[in-house]
Structure 1
Amino acid sequence: MAKTEQTVAELLLEQLSLYGVKRIYGVVGDATIGFIDALAKQDQIQFITTKHESTAAFMASAEAKLTGGLGVCTATMGPGATNLLNGLGDAHADRAPVLALTGQAPTDKYGTATPQFINQQDLVKPFVAYSENLTNPDAAADLLEKAVATSLRQRAVTHLSVPKDLFMAESKKKARPLAKAIQGTTVFTTESLEKAASIMKSAKRPMILAGSGAAGTAEELQKLAASWGAGILASLGGKGLIEESAPLMLQGIGEGGNPFAAELFKEADVVLLAGTTWWPEGHVPTNAQVIQIDPHFNQVEKNIPVELGIVGTTEEVLPLLNEHLEGFSRSDDWVSRCQEVKEKWARQNEEEGNSEGYPIHPSRIIRALDKTVAPDAILALDTGDNTVWTNRNFRQTNQKTVFSGYWRTMGFGLPAAMTAKLIHPDKQVVAIVGDGGLQMVLADLMTAIRYGLDITVVVLNNESLQMEKDKIDVMGTKDIGTDLTNPDFVKLAEACGWKGFRPESDAELESVLEEALQTSGPSLVDIPTAQVFFPETE
């Protein structure tokens, strides 16, 4: 007799496939054997098995950041679930929609002293908008739908735990697509933005701070900057949205940004935040009127002194603001000051990128990457000194970056690069990492080999946790533990099946990078890096 019912695991997978999920990242464990069995019997969703659950969660977070869709990770109960937390924290902090599916103790052992049991709903509570434990097979479809809808509509992390025995229990329910939600278009008229326009027209020293949420609005941003007389600054996620040559594009702000822009920014009297929640304390004005454009404004919890929030997208709002500002009498003196800051930094940036010596100055490394990576490459940044030097010296054009924004976890770069290559197999993908960050996920070099991922990892190897070392120096406290005991990264990469490279002088840096980037299969470039104090360390 033909089977008419599905197991819970089969149902979950079919439903996730209907939701558009292409990959699930995870590590096999005892409590998820039924789920793994169902994964092995289907081919709609690829199971990417990693060496550590934190890598799986990082990859799910990177998937959500790169696609805007749902990232999914899975792990067993107990230590498997706890190992996911770092990646879930990253997704939570950066509002990336991620679903974690974890195994749990069998129903007859739930809540007992059985090995590895912990109340997972309590465990994940700080990071999730919704978490539930399945108690009946026929509730699986409903719980999954609620979890996924919550993730996608709130840009949040959600979690379902499933007792081991229930994965293989049969459900009478059928998989169904996610209920369609019609996104009500926020109707803006020129009149509805009069309050915002009135504040903007009062400005003598206007500034625009743009982020990834302003993607696709470069032309409108430049038009607004020109008519309003505003300098444009970018968060790390907004790098490359506007060409460096744009007259009022001042580059980044905050650690690693244009070092001359912060003092100018502090003088701003009106600031427009376009598609960003970045507000770097110590680099921002204290008395400016702040207008923020964000489609999820009611969910923004960052400490930004916003006077007027506009709930909408930059694509909807900027054209209407441009209409309001037609004929606005901008301050030519302020425009001149913005242009002076732009030109001063351009000169210094060029000088820093030409630094000589071996081990190689970080600015020189970033400039070499600037010259050699593809114009449409995807850059996966780890957290550490490599991040701030990249932000400072990489003159981004059409490259896309993915990074750990507010969580700022080390170990993100390699997993994010692997995810980027899975999503965009035809794109050049480059991970820029520090030696400390890479060592947190070294085992997953083998994951790139397992799935044949043609990525390049560039290691800024200064044999230290340089960012922490710099902060300790600034505070005048005693240092212990910032020096690293490193392996030979080239030999280690080769032992894992990668191609390993190392420049022997600063003169051959570009040629070594080009060779690595053109190599088929995963490649790693170990660059002996000078221990340079980052100039803006606080």
Structure 2
Amino acid sequence: MANAEKTVAQVMLEQLSLYGVKRIYGVVGDASFGLIDALAGQDAIEFIACKHESVAAFMASAEAKLTGGLGVCTSTMGPGATNLLNGLGDAHADHVPVLALTGQAPTEKIGTEFQQYVNLQDLMKPFALYSDNLASADAAIDLLERAAATSLNKRGVTHLSVPKDLFMAKTSAAPRPLADVIEGTAVFTEDSLAKAVSVMKSAKRPMILAGAGAAGAVDDLKRLAENWGAGILASLGGKGLVEAEFPQMLQGIGEGGNPFAADLFKEADVVLLAGTTWWPEGYVPTDAQVIQVDRQFDKIEKTIPVDLGITGKSEDVLPILADGLGGFTRSDDWLARCSDVKAKWDRQNEEEGSTDGFPFHPSRIVRALDRTVAADAVLALDTGDNTVWMNRNFRQTDQTVLVSGYWRTMGFGLPAAMAAKLAEPGRQVVAVVGDGGLQMVLADLLTATRYGLDITVVVLNNESLQMEVDKLKVLGAKGIGTDLTNPDFVQVAEACGWKGFRPGAEDDLEAVLEDALGIEGPALVDVRTAQAFFPETE
């Protein structure tokens, strides 16, 4: 078919395919019928039909977090677009590349009292690095290229709205081959890192804080820690990058992290942040030199007292820093203190994971999970009490952890697990969710059924918004609305085509989890969970 015979929607899909897009998540609506028609007429990009647009945006965000590629979601105008916002907020806050393609009113109705019309550029302004409305069929590729390149280069959300009539309009625009480099180039040189190496060599109490941005440099991260004699602390997004058995891996920091690591961390004299913007106030040193490695300048400026910022990928920077530390004399005393903190927490962690009782204590549930999930599983965590207990007690091997890092929205876990299974079907995928978070996206259990997704959802069911209960208690405030009216999750799951499990007081928790993990297709495990006060609630 000649280019002039193709519609705007068709050429946009061809261009997105060149960007490596394999899926578009969304909900069908009349303002985007042209895009839906084009999706139905090709097989390069799969359309994943969700029950709610927020879930579509969560899935796009989770895919971008897992793969580093462009996540794409779509909706109709008006209410469809507004429903995308929560998921786009997650992508915006965690700096991952997501493109939202929305319909818009017909060209001649823009700016009028047409039903569902709203200025979508104004609507997207808090989250989108770039947002525009297509005004000409022949400009479709120009605008799409700018949106996709901005999203990938600057690691954030972009948005295009397309009037209903233009999606189906014929265009002479043609897809363009991509440049060899889509992500830009590092702005450092080997010589320019000499200053960082000099600062690092001055350290007597070095510490590394690692996050998801260091995922491509794990071996160099460990080599750097060994050469430097540094302990490694992980943000929640960095959990799973370095195995728990690594001698200098001290686990998490901040709420839910290693409770003995905070005092040690406060004594650090030089801190290297590798691929993270996590700087948890109250847990950090106040008189340390801070070096931050990240791919974007705006991250380097994010409320962290950075003395030296290095803009680049961890996989490019960390090997040079590790090599530069050759001959550095490590502090045996500092290493011994790191080892002591690690051993002390390992002992307590093991004790917490053995807590008896029914309903099951959250630490006991986490221990069962780290005994049963695959060493290389993808773990999708919802936001809530389940998150901090996983951060506290889960002993990672080589798992990848997906979280709503800075947006911290409930409802993320199930969509993230579905997206992870679609993106990496060969890996085991487990969502760990609270009952409150799951209820927000309950309808999309049917999305997993529709696409035959072999995922396991573990529900910590304590019939409350436990994190809010704990925080209200600390404030001495009364609470209302924190108790939940839960359905029978097993019956709901089975009605949606899932296999349901519910371990009882006499059941072996690990055995039930193994049964759920072993079946083909979606499985839900409803675990009766004790309303345990989290020990570090502030």
TM-score, scaled to structure 1: 0.97
Residue 17 of structure 1 and its aligned partner are, at CA, apart by: 1.5
Partner of 2:22: 22
Contact 2:414–2:457 at 8 Å: present in 1 too?
yes
Aligned residue runs from structure 1 range 195-344, under 5 A:
195-344=195-344
Contact 1:410–1:440 at 8 Å: present in 2 too?
yes
What count of residue pairs does the alignment treat as equivalent? Answer: 537
Partner of 1:439: 439
Q: Distance in 2 between matches of 1:128 and 1:450?
A: 31
Partner of 1:493: 493
Q: Distance in 2 between matches of 1:212 and 1:415?
A: 19
Alignment-mate amino acid for residue 250 of structure 1: L
Q: Distance in 1 between matches of 2:395 and 2:430?
A: 15
Partner of 1:64: 64
Contact 1:460–1:527 at 8 Å: present in 2 too?
yes
Q: Distance in 1 between matches of 2:222 and 2:194?
A: 21
Q: Distance in 2 between matches of 1:135 and 1:187?
A: 40
Alignment-mate amino acid for residue 210 of structure 1: A
Contact 1:358–1:506 at 8 Å: present in 2 too?
no
TM-aligned CA distance change 1:300 to 1:318, over 3 Å? closer
Q: Percent same amino acid among aligned pairs?
A: 73
Q: Deviations over 1:91-115 (max 9, x none)?
A: 0011110000001111111111111
Partner of 2:36: 36
Contact 1:149–1:178 at 8 Å: present in 2 too?
no
Q: Distance in 1 between matches of 2:117 and 2:506?
A: 53
Contact 2:457–2:525 at 8 Å: present in 1 too?
yes
Residue 217 of structure 1 and its aligned partner are, at CA, apart by: 3.0
Q: Deviations over 1:49-90 (max 9, x none)?
A: 100000000011011111111111000111000000000000
1:428 counterpart = 2:428: yes
Residue 216 of structure 1 and its aligned partner are, at CA, apart by: 4.0
Residue 24 of structure 1 and its aligned partner are, at CA, apart by: 0.5
Residue 173 of structure 1 and its aligned partner are, at CA, apart by: 1.5
Q: Deviations over 1:142-164 (max 9, x none)?
A: 10011001111111100000111
Q: Distance in 2 between matches of 1:224 and 1:210?
A: 12
Residue 168 of structure 1 and its aligned partner are, at CA, apart by: 1.1
Residue 225 of structure 1 and its aligned partner are, at CA, apart by: 2.4
Of 348-357 and 498-507, deviating more is 498-507
Contact 1:494–1:500 at 8 Å: present in 2 too?
yes
The alignment partner of 2:48 has SS state of: strand
Q: Distance in 1 between matches of 2:498 and 2:222?
A: 43
Contact 1:356–1:506 at 8 Å: present in 2 too?
no
Residue 186 of structure 1 and its aligned partner are, at CA, apart by: 4.9
Of 206-215 and 348-357, deviating more is 206-215
Q: Distance in 2 between matches of 1:227 and 1:16?
A: 43
Q: Distance in 2 between matches of 1:254 and 1:145?
A: 40
Q: Distance in 2 between matches of 1:234 and 1:299?
A: 17
Contact 1:145–1:178 at 8 Å: present in 2 too?
no
Alignment-mate amino acid for residue 169 of structure 1: A
Of 246-255 and 479-488, deviating more is 246-255
Q: Distance in 2 between matches of 1:283 and 1:374?
A: 31
Residue 193 of structure 1 and its aligned partner are, at CA, apart by: 2.2
Aligned residue runs from structure 1 range 78-157, under 5 A:
78-157=78-157
Alignment-mate amino acid for residue 302 of structure 1: K
Contact 1:230–1:248 at 8 Å: present in 2 too?
yes
1:407 counterpart = 2:407: yes
Of 41-50 and 204-213, deviating more is 204-213
The alignment partner of 1:453 has SS state of: coil
Alignment-mate amino acid for residue 20 of structure 2: G
Contact 1:366–1:394 at 8 Å: present in 2 too?
yes
Q: Distance in 2 between matches of 1:311 and 1:196?
A: 12
Alignment-mate amino acid for residue 99 of structure 1: L
Partner of 2:382: 382
Of 498-507 and 317-326, deviating more is 317-326
Residue 198 of structure 1 and its aligned partner are, at CA, apart by: 2.2
Alignment-mate amino acid for residue 350 of structure 2: E
Contact 1:19–1:177 at 8 Å: present in 2 too?
no
TM-aligned CA distance change 1:30 to 1:219, over 3 Å? closer
Partner of 1:188: 189
Q: Deviations over 1:287-339 (max 9, x none)?
A: 21100111223554421100001122223322332333233233222222111
TM-aligned CA distance change 1:264 to 1:3, over 3 Å? closer
Residue 6 of structure 1 and its aligned partner are, at CA, apart by: 1.1
Residue 282 of structure 1 and its aligned partner are, at CA, apart by: 1.3
TM-aligned CA distance change 1:108 to 1:476, over 3 Å? same
Q: Distance in 1 between matches of 2:3 and 2:257?
A: 61
Partner of 1:54: 54
Contact 2:241–2:399 at 8 Å: present in 1 too?
no
Alignment-mate amino acid for residue 85 of structure 1: L
TM-aligned CA distance change 1:221 to 1:11, over 3 Å? closer
Residue 197 of structure 1 and its aligned partner are, at CA, apart by: 2.1
Contact 1:188–1:317 at 8 Å: present in 2 too?
no
Residue 12 of structure 1 and its aligned partner are, at CA, apart by: 1.2
Residue 165 of structure 1 and its aligned partner are, at CA, apart by: 1.1
Where does structure 2 lack aligned partners over 5 or more consecutive residues? none
Q: Distance in 2 between matches of 1:291 and 1:477?
A: 40
Residue 361 of structure 1 and its aligned partner are, at CA, apart by: 0.3
Q: Distance in 2 between matches of 1:86 and 1:332?
A: 48
Q: Distance in 1 between matches of 2:42 and 2:223?
A: 51
Q: Distance in 1 between matches of 2:428 and 2:368?
A: 16
Q: Distance in 1 between matches of 2:3 and 2:248?
A: 66
The alignment partner of 2:108 has SS state of: coil
Q: Distance in 1 between matches of 2:2 and 2:428?
A: 47
Alignment-mate amino acid for residue 188 of structure 1: T
Q: Distance in 1 between matches of 2:124 and 2:343?
A: 48
Contact 1:436–1:464 at 8 Å: present in 2 too?
yes
Q: Deviations over 1:406-451 (max 9, x none)?
A: 1011000000111111111121111000000000000000001111
Alpha-carbon RMSD = 1.6
Q: Distance in 1 between matches of 2:76 and 2:524?
A: 32
Residue 475 of structure 1 and its aligned partner are, at CA, apart by: 1.0
Residue 3 of structure 1 and its aligned partner are, at CA, apart by: 8.5
Alignment-mate amino acid for residue 238 of structure 2: G
Q: Distance in 1 between matches of 2:3 and 2:329?
A: 74
The alignment partner of 1:215 has SS state of: helix
Partner of 1:456: 456
Contact 1:368–1:509 at 8 Å: present in 2 too?
yes
Q: Distance in 1 between matches of 2:369 and 2:122?
A: 44
Alignment-mate amino acid for residue 209 of structure 2: L
Contact 2:95–2:156 at 8 Å: present in 1 too?
yes
Partner of 1:510: 510
Q: Distance in 2 between matches of 1:416 and 1:381?
A: 8
Where does structure 1 lack aligned partners over 5 or more consecutive residues? none
TM-score, scaled to structure 2: 0.97
Alignment-mate amino acid for residue 27 of structure 1: V
